[in-house]
Amino acid sequence: MTVWSKRRIFETLEKGEGDDRLSKRFDLFIMTLILLNVMAVILETVESIYVQAPLLFYYFEIFSIIIFSIEYVGRLWTCTYFERYSHPFWGRLKFVFSIAGLIDLMAILPFYLPLLFAMDGRFLRMMRLFRVLRIFKMGRYSTAFNLIMRVIKQRKEELLITLTIVLVLLILASSMMYYLEHEVQPENFSSIPETMWWGVATLTTVGYGDVYPITGFGKVLGAFIAILGVGIFALPAGIIAAGFESEISKRIKRKGRK
Amino acid sequence: MTVWSKRRIFETLEKGEGDDRLSKRFDLFIMTLILLNVMAVILETVESIYVQAPLLFYYFEIFSIIIFSIEYVGRLWTCTYFERYSHPFWGRLKFVFSIAGLIDLMAILPFYLPLLFAMDGRFLRMMRLFRVLRIFKMGRYSTAFNLIMRVIKQRKEELLITLTIVLVLLILASSMMYYLEHEVQPENFSSIPETMWWGVATLTTVGYGDVYPITGFGKVLGAFIAILGVGIFALPAGIIAAGFESEISKRIKRKGRK
Amino acid sequence: MTVWSKRRIFETLEKGEGDDRLSKRFDLFIMTLILLNVMAVILETVESIYVQAPLLFYYFEIFSIIIFSIEYVGRLWTCTYFERYSHPFWGRLKFVFSIAGLIDLMAILPFYLPLLFAMDGRFLRMMRLFRVLRIFKMGRYSTAFNLIMRVIKQRKEELLITLTIVLVLLILASSMMYYLEHEVQPENFSSIPETMWWGVATLTTVGYGDVYPITGFGKVLGAFIAILGVGIFALPAGIIAAGFESEISKRIKRKGRK
Amino acid sequence: MTVWSKRRIFETLEKGEGDDRLSKRFDLFIMTLILLNVMAVILETVESIYVQAPLLFYYFEIFSIIIFSIEYVGRLWTCTYFERYSHPFWGRLKFVFSIAGLIDLMAILPFYLPLLFAMDGRFLRMMRLFRVLRIFKMGRYSTAFNLIMRVIKQRKEELLITLTIVLVLLILASSMMYYLEHEVQPENFSSIPETMWWGVATLTTVGYGDVYPITGFGKVLGAFIAILGVGIFALPAGIIAAGFESEISKRIKRKGRK
């Protein structure tokens, strides 16, 4: 029989390494539970599926909350084994406000909050939305998630500069289009912020077709902006994509070398 | 007169090499037949063309089935000349379940199945769809097809990672948009899976315009997702495209060296 | 006074080199005439502009035809100075069927044909369309045009392979979508060729929004095709674009070195 | 107390260097004022915000004009300290017509012009539009703006060549589409310039869906143009984007070395 020391619990909760089979099984269990949770949140919104077993969804949610709560308390108790969280009080507080800690908290808090405070319907619905964010708990185990964090950190400066350029282009394009189209289409181009919806749809080339210029000058301006601007709007997303590709190819090379 | 030994039939069925003119002519005949089949499937659906000669399409289908059936039986009989299929029984079974074997079977099975089993209309229609898959029989002869297979095999891991990222982004974007738009557009954003249709249309920048956010918050979220997300959705397709380009340039260099 | 020898006319017609001021002026005159012709074809279709001076457009067309005809006859007469067209008869015939020769002929023939043969309205309109192709006459003088030709020639093989892949993907995607959507949207997905219009609009991410799947299976297939296919459809255009970029940067380096 | 010499004013107006705290504070003040101005122009167009405090917007505009006017006069007075503007008259005139000088003038002139000349409503509205261009005053301080200018200067030639190619492709595609679709859709394809709106929307893949071919030939041409043309239309924007990326990565390397 395993001795359930605090140390053992810490090791079990953290990602399993070497031949710690118990810890690895626990990881698999939590990952499965997270994926089932995300699927439940998604399927719950499909009327035809939900009505067939509303209680199943409810009991599964209760079950998940119990597990995730125990996991959270366990992590909070044992996090002092990490050097950076070693202080009994300040270390634990630091863990609570770390990214991983907040993600774990966000996974259970939306369940407890309505029990403690009276809340209106709009807020309750938003709480339900937070359940889908449990997917971020996968970050502890998944490569893809770690990639995302690393890429955004690495390319922070490029992203800020290109987002500034994108914003300036969006403001200029939308202001000009607003002045050209406002009069003939007062509903679609009612204000500059509203016109920015057209700007984003055009410059990302999504082009839903809900708003578009109809005056001659508006079309000329729109054509000009589209030809010169679409590449610039592709910059931030392109930088993230380039970051991913380089990280992925690094990872594959590293694995290949082993 | 050629001696119609099993060996000779094997050589004729396989892609002709050197100056085996008979085998090369047979290849050309099968390739033409495949292309005509694909054209027939396409043109059959054009009412104005089909009504002019429905029997022609029917007889051509019978003719094709006969040829492809003989070809399949021939291959099954002679495949033992390949080392990996050399066992009279297990080798042939292995051939039947190889990719090339399944493609050859799929080209004729949809014709025989309804003769053996009673089938409803929906299933019969699906069987007709399978006829277009005869195009994959070209894989034995065409470079383009071989390229596709090789690229997907080579980039399997990159594809899996990027598809995971794409899926996570799609789930997050669609869940948030669902909670923001569901109330005001209950038909278009009826559930999270339904909202994913919006997500794919937006993040691939196809933007049909059948669904789009109309609330203020929905538009802000949509704009934010579009600016940061479009590049990420381009990753899987970009990896396949990059794989093609490198394979094509390799191929051209190799030919140039000759 | 210049001696109007055949040699002198040949030199004047061809692109002026060195300090042959007459030839350079003639080039400028022809280039201006071509650009004015293209503008005339474009502006003629704007009702409000055309009605103000229909005769101006007519006289300008007559004037252009006279100049281009003289130029064509001149080129035909003097082309024997080129080594490859040196034979009085076969050389001239070769010139007539060369690309440059055909472009020059196409610029004037649509005017003469209706004078020689009775033609119906539909054909006459198509003849007018050919007038815009006079823009190709710029090819003799413009770098941009020479780039286009060189790029397409250089990348011929890549273009063929990628266009094959694009076509196969389009056939498969459209056939599957046709079988899934035909029943519920018989007007939009009336046949496989008709469904290809959806296929091109989706895979190029243009997404007009005139046709899109509405069934559940259709949307799932559409989403899958869009995520994996958009990069592949970008291949032919990407190859042409890459060809341009490399040619342009070569050209700029060459100029920089001077 | 600082001696308010002409020299001191010049230093304060220009971008602060070293430990000139006064000049740096003035820079920050002007940058904040510019950003608030841009926000004011944007928010003013939102009816629900504007009606709450129309006077606030008016007084803020007056305040901005006073500051920007003083700044402009100050710059005009002290610009002679720059070597290239050193001549008391011709130097100042040169400054007025320099890019920076014109941007500064454009920020205030739209306020004074209507006071000097009688103007109709249309012109007055256009004057308001010019207020958003105050954002260009940021160019003196912002890296992003300097990047834009440098990139466009560096890639001028590539941009010109690719824009020519884009224009020729647009003319050819739109002319052909006009002749194919004009008869069945006389409102959408009323003229070649009008058809260019379809051309831009298609070739940039924006695809609003307000205009698209409906005839068979029109769809075939549209599909062909989309497959071969979308990459070419991406060239100018791609060149600008590539220019940005190389400039940004240079900048980051330079900073990293410090």
| CB within 8 Å: D209 and B208 | yes
Q: State the pLDDT at residue B1.
A: 44
Phi, psi of A52 (to 5 degrees): -70, -30
In whole angstroms, give the CA distance from residue D171 to residue D169.
Answer: 5
- Chain D (205-234) residues lying within 8 Å, Cβ to Cβ, of chain B: 205, 207-209
Phi, psi of B27 (to 5 degrees): -55, -50
List, in order, residues 6 or more apart from B233 with CB less than 8 Å away. Answer: B166, B169, B203, B204, C227
Residues of B in contact with D48 (CB under 8 A): none
Q: What is the full DSSP assignment across B137-203?
A: GGGGT-HHHHHHHHHHHHTHHHHHHHHHHHHHHHHHHHHHHHHHHTTT-TTTTSSHHHHHHHHHHHH
The answer to whether residue A1 scores a pLDDT higher than 50 is: no
Taking the alpha carbons at both ends of chain B, their separation in whole angstroms is 36
In whole angstroms, give the CA distance from residue D208 to residue D201.
Answer: 7
Q: What is the full DSSP assignment across A188-242?
A: TTSSHHHHHHHHHHHHTT---SSS---SHHHHHHHHHHHHHHHHHHHHHHHHHHH
Residue range C115-128: mean pLDDT, rounded: 75
- Chain D (177-206) residues lying within 8 Å, Cβ to Cβ, of chain B: 205
Residue range D237-245: mean pLDDT, rounded: 82
Q: Tens digit of pLDDT for each residue in B143-173?
A: 777 788 888 888 888 888 888 889 999 999 9
Q: Report ipTM (2 d.p.).
A: 0.88
Q: State the pLDDT at residue C1.
A: 43
Q: Tens digit of pLDDT for each residue in C8-44?
A: 888 888 887 777 888 889 999 999 999 999 999 999 9
Residues of D in contact with B209 (CB under 8 A): 208-209
Residues of B in contact with A133 (CB under 8 A): 172
Give the length of chain D.
Answer: 258
In this structure, what token pair is assigned to residue A171? 């403001």
pLDDT tier at A36, thresholds 50, 70, 90:
very high
Q: Tens digit of pLDDT for each residue in C68-79?
A: 999 999 999 998
Q: State the pLDDT at residue D139.
A: 82
Q: State the pLDDT at residue C175.
A: 92
Q: Tens digit of pLDDT for each residue in D60-108?
A: 999 999 999 999 999 999 988 888 898 889 999 999 999 889 999 988 9
Q: Tens digit of pLDDT for each residue in C140-153?
A: 887 777 788 888 88
Shortest Cα–Cα distance, B242 to chain A (Å): 11
Shortest Cα–Cα distance, C168 to chain B (Å): 8
Average pLDDT, rounded, for chain A? 87
Find out whether C46 and D191 touch, Cβ atoms under 8 Å. yes
For an interface test with B, the pick among A41, A45, A148 (most B C-beta atoms closer than 10 Å) comes out as: A45
Q: Tens digit of pLDDT for each residue in D170-217?
A: 999 999 999 899 989 999 999 999 999 999 999 999 999 999 999 999
Residues of C in contact with D186 (CB under 8 A): none
In whole angstroms, give the CA distance from residue C40 to residue C61.
Answer: 9
| CB within 8 Å: D207 and C196 | no
- Residue whose token pair is 């594809």: B159
In this structure, what token pair is assigned to residue D142? 């912002």
In whole angstroms, give the CA distance from residue A17 to residue A70.
Answer: 22
Tally the C-alpha atoms within 13 A of residue A28's C-alpha that lie toward its C-beta: 7
Q: State the pLDDT at residue D217.
A: 92
How many interchain CB pairs under 8 A, B with C? 117
The answer to whether residue D243 scores a pLDDT higher than 50 is: yes
Shortest Cα–Cα distance, B3 to chain D (Å): 50
pLDDT tier at C220, thresholds 50, 70, 90:
very high
Q: Tens digit of pLDDT for each residue in D27-65?
A: 999 999 999 999 999 999 898 999 998 999 999 999 999
In this structure, what token pair is assigned to residue D95? 């400054």
In whole angstroms, give the CA distance from residue A103 to residue A99.
Answer: 6
Closest CA to B26 of B81, B71, B69: B71
Find out whether C111 and D144 touch, Cβ atoms under 8 Å. no
| Percent of chain A at pLDDT exceeding 70 | 98
Give the length of chain C.
Answer: 258
In this structure, what token pair is assigned to residue D192? 């070649």
Find out whether B94 and B84 touch, Cβ atoms under 8 Å. yes
Give the closest of C168, C193, C227 to B237, CB-based. Answer: C227
The answer to whether residue A2 scores a pLDDT higher than 70 is: no
| Percent of chain D at pLDDT exceeding 70 | 98
Q: State the pLDDT at residue A156.
A: 87
CA C180 to chain centre: 37
In this structure, what token pair is assigned to residue D139? 């160019």
The answer to whether residue D1 scores a pLDDT higher than 50 is: no
Which stretches of chain B score pLDDT less than 50?
1, 258
Average pLDDT, rounded, for chain D? 87
| C193-202 core/surface letters (b: 16 or more CB in 10 A; e: else) | bbbbbbbbbb
pLDDT tier at C3, thresholds 50, 70, 90:
low
